[in-house]
Copies of this chain bind each other. A is one copy, B any other.
Amino acid sequence: MTLVENRAPELPGVMSRLYARTGRAHVVGVTGPPGAGKSTLVDALIGRLRAEQRSVGVVAVDPSSPFTGGAVLGDRIRMQAHFLDPGVFIRSLATRGSHGGLPRAARDVVRLLDAFGMDVVLVETVGVGQTELDVMRLADSIVVVLVPEAGDTVQVMKAGLLEIADVFVVNKADREGALRMVSELEQMLHLRPASAWAIPVLPTTASLGTGVDAVLAALQDHRTFVAGDPDRPARAAGRRAGELVDILEEEMRRRLEAGLLADQNGLGALLESVRSGHVDPYSAALRILQDDDALAALVRERTA
């Protein structure tokens, strides 16, 4: 786990050995705007799954401060009830720099939990930004959690949530406006082109456990649907090819940075003139990219 979070150079080697043991877990993404009660729902889902003797991995993706690097883990505290249960494995992931680092770390942690034999892996993201949507692409099934007071359905569309949801949950359904929100969402879904999977809109009061069984049943139905989807093999092939490029790119970036700092092929002087502002970054990049030998030396550089 620590190798994954620190994006250690040994990572591809470790992951390649585990890969054959992956592909069995049901990976469920849980997302939605802040304050919708995602953690409470995840907590309730863990409870039900454990009652069925199913093992559960949880990956909680927290946006963290770009300055201190620290994540606010208030919501995690309520999951403490499960920390002592050996059938539950919870991991919080904070940001590790930018450049797609968080979606990659989340992908690898999900793979690890899958390889460790977890029956279900829940991936929870706080917030509704692009990185969070990227993380959700990992999931086999995506639950979008909303609350009546989180704004109207236009906000849902704005955040791009309508198009990623496999199951909608309107949480805090005991509050005013919940039923109206359910019917608004259903109407919006009716406006879309017909699809083989009918997205359900399920009211829950996760804090009381109400409606949680229906969410689990819908997720099971969706998993069965996906398994029979004729487009699935082509999508999986595309995902694997993209993953190869991702892994190569991450290692390339590591070598690029190390190579520049190590003054490989005299590039240290160029880096220094970029730092001082004498050469702009674009011109420096062009100079390196037009010099095949410099480039080859940079990416050959061994960081070990």
Contact = CB atoms under 8 A, between A and B. Distances in A.
A6 interface: no
A155 interface: yes
A15 interface: yes
A130 B129 contact: yes
A162 B72 CA distance: 12
14 contacts: A13-B282, A20-B280, A34-B155, A34-B159, A63-B130, A63-B159, A66-B133, A67-B163, A74-B158, A99-B99, A129-B133, A244-B260, A292-B300, A295-B296
B128 A130 contact: no
Chain multiplicity (copies): 2
B256 A252 contact: yes
A119 interface: no
A120 B158 CA distance: 26
A192 to B, nearest CB: 11
Interface in A151-169: 151, 154-155, 157-160, 162-164
A65 B253 contact: no
A247 interface: yes
Contacts of A163: 65-68
Contact of A103 (B15, B98, B164, B282): B98
A134 B244 CA distance: 25
A256 B260 contact: no
Interface of A: 12-13, 15-16, 19-20, 33-35, 62-68, 72, 74, 95, 98-100, 102-103, 126-134, 137, 149, 151, 154-155, 157-160, 162-164, 236-238, 240-241, 243-249, 251-253, 256-257, 260, 271, 274-277, 280-286, 288-289, 292, 295-296, 299-300
Contacts of A63: 128-130, 133, 158-160
A160 B130 contact: no
A223 to B, nearest CB: 19
Contact of A100 (B35, B100, B257): B100
B281 A240 contact: yes
Contacts of A275: 237-238, 240-241
Contact of A131 (B131, B238, B285): B131
